[in-house]
Amino acid sequence: MSRMFFYPKPLVSLLIVFMFLAAFPGSSHCATLTPLELAQKLQARYEETKTMAADFKQSTSVPMSSRKRLGAGKVVISKPGRIRWDYQTPDRQVLISDGKKVSMYVASSAQMVVQPVSQYINSDVTYAFFAGTGNIVRDFKVLPSERQEISGLKAIKLVPKTAHPQVDYLHIWIDENFMMRRLEIVDLFGSITNLVFENVRRNEPISQDIFVFTPPLGTEIIEQ
């Protein structure tokens, strides 16, 4: 998702926390499952997830540059439609969806951009999944990943079935409990955004007040 620094691009998004949520019992046959079967397991468990909160770390690299943009913060999701990403480093940024509008606040520029969800979806390939309206198997081609396994995690590749204006494909890494531990988003220009999720809390009560954000006095509001 193209959101200033945001690319939950987690976003998030369409897909950033997405399928990672929790927990089939541990399974020794995880390694024998096909990519499609892994995606189906992720989807099934995700559909049982109504709320989620987690810490995240994000890095973005661009072609022809050795520099990486680093960020970290917290994400909260309440299906359907409510998502909040709080970037705490390197700069304060907040992205909130209440299911109808998406607001993106950037402290360094003292601006908040507000746009309809229908417009925002065009920039965030993971949004539908986070919001509870997406489906991995329906919305993506599921393929073997050319990425290496990481600490025993299995990787699969997802390619949007409908061409996306920004996102080329994604990789996700899944543990033996069918939880997503890492998400990689590759855009059409070759930029790569990685998201790693920690301290995931699933199906705990979440106050809906979290999805209301009032920017500081003096913030420029830009309606799109």
Distance (Å, whole) CA 199 – CA 86: 15
CATH number of 47's domain: 2.50.20.10
- Region 124-146: what's the mean pLDDT? 78
In a domain, 112, yes or no: yes
pLDDT at 56 over 90: yes
Distance (Å, whole) CA 14 – CA 3: 13
What pLDDT was estimated at residue 22?
A: 38
In a domain, 3, yes or no: no
pLDDT at 29 over 60: no
In a domain, 82, yes or no: yes
What pLDDT was estimated at residue 23?
A: 39
In a domain, 57, yes or no: yes
Cβ atoms of 20 and 131 within 8 Å: the answer is no
Instruction: List the domain range (segments joined by +) for residue 163.
Output: 30-223
Q: Which of 5, 9, 7, 219 is nearest to 114 (CA)?
A: 219
- Region 191-211: what's the mean pLDDT? 90
What pLDDT was estimated at residue 130?
A: 62
The structural domain count of the chain equals: 1
In a domain, 180, yes or no: yes
The answer to whether the pTM exceeds 0.95 is no
- Radius of gyration over alpha carbons of the chain, in Å? 17
- Region 152-171: what's the mean pLDDT? 88
- Region 103-112: what's the mean pLDDT? 95
Cβ atoms of 133 and 19 within 8 Å: the answer is no
In a domain, 16, yes or no: no
pLDDT at 163 over 70: yes
What pLDDT was estimated at residue 17?
A: 43
What pLDDT was estimated at residue 219?
A: 96
What pLDDT was estimated at residue 25?
A: 40
Reported as a pLDDT band with limits 50, 70 and 90, residue 209 is: very high
In a domain, 129, yes or no: yes
Task: Report how far apart, in Å, the C-alpha atoms of 123 and of each of 2, 128, 166 are.
Answer: 5, 11, 7
Q: Which of 20, 89, 29, 33 is nearest to 57 (CA)?
A: 89
Cβ atoms of 23 and 177 within 8 Å: the answer is yes
Q: Which of 160, 171, 176, 147 is nearest to 33 (CA)?
A: 176
What pLDDT was estimated at residue 120?
A: 74
Q: In the chain, what percentage of residues exceed pLDDT 70? A: 80
Distance (Å, whole) CA 197 – CA 206: 19
pLDDT at 15 over 70: no
In a domain, 24, yes or no: no
Three-state SS letters, the chain: CCECCECCCCCCCCCCCCCCCCCCCCCCCHHHCCHHHHHHHHHHHHHCCCEEEEEEEEEEECCCCCCEEEEEEEEEEECCCEEEEEEEECCCEEEEEECCEEEEEEHHHCEEEEEEHHHHHHHCCCHHHHHCCCCHHHHEEEEECCCCCECCEEEEEEEECCCCCCEEEEEEEECCCCCEEEEEEEECCCCEEEEEEEEEEECCCCCHHHHCCCCCCCCEEEEC
What pLDDT was estimated at residue 96?
A: 93
